[in-house]
Amino acid sequence: MVGLGRQDDAEALFEELEATLQPPIADFSVPHFRIHVALGAKDVSRARAAYDAALDAMETLEVGMQRAMLTGDLGRIDELAGDYESAVLNYRESMALDGDRNMHREAGAALRKAGRLEEAEVELREALRLQPADPHAHLEMARVLEARGDMSGAVERLRSALAAWEPADEGFEPARDARAKLQALDGAG
């Protein structure tokens, strides 16, 4: 629900879930869920505290198979904190730890924010190869293409993202951003 822009619903659902989980599942899962709730609230310090608790639980419970997931979460925390270089490293490490993880979109976004547009485009092309209908990847690719001066390519990617987000609530931030960006680019053309 956090990914759908419904932070309050996500927090309420998390509280219900937290009350039902039992150890040892709760020992790792609760702090892990807290990472995502904090990220949705854009609260870096709360996300880092939840990450530390989840990492401690992973090590205590000896569930090292969760390391790739937590490394990706750390990348999200770093990106939210504005440490894009560290975010990219963590996203790539997460994928190296688990070959089935696709964090190319996240790596592409962090690379764009770091001003590394060519690398960002490579990561985003891979994200779209793996998940062609991912509207978030289309939106991110539109941002990269716009920054590189390819306005028609950016418009095409924005339209792809918005087609997938057609049923989204008006307040859903990524769709709202894509609509505003499309309107600005269409108006400039």
**What domains does the chain contain, in order, with CATH numbers?**
1-101 (1.25.40), 118-189 (1.25.40.10)
Asked whether 27 and 61 are in contact (CB, 8 A), the reply is: yes
3-state secondary structure of 99: coil
Q: What is the pLDDT of residue 53?
A: 94
In Å, what is the CA distance from 81 to each residue of 73, 86, 122, 189? 12, 10, 24, 34
Q: What is the pLDDT of residue 24?
A: 73
21: pLDDT strictly greater than 70: no
Looking at 3-7, 50-54, 145-149, which range is the least confident one?
3-7
pTM, full prediction: 0.86
Residue-wise pLDDT tens digits, 84-142? 999 999 999 999 999 999 999 999 999 999 999 999 999 999 999 999 999 999 999 99
Q: What is the pLDDT of residue 15?
A: 74
Asked whether 35 and 77 are in contact (CB, 8 A), the reply is: yes
Asked whether 28 and 58 are in contact (CB, 8 A), the reply is: yes
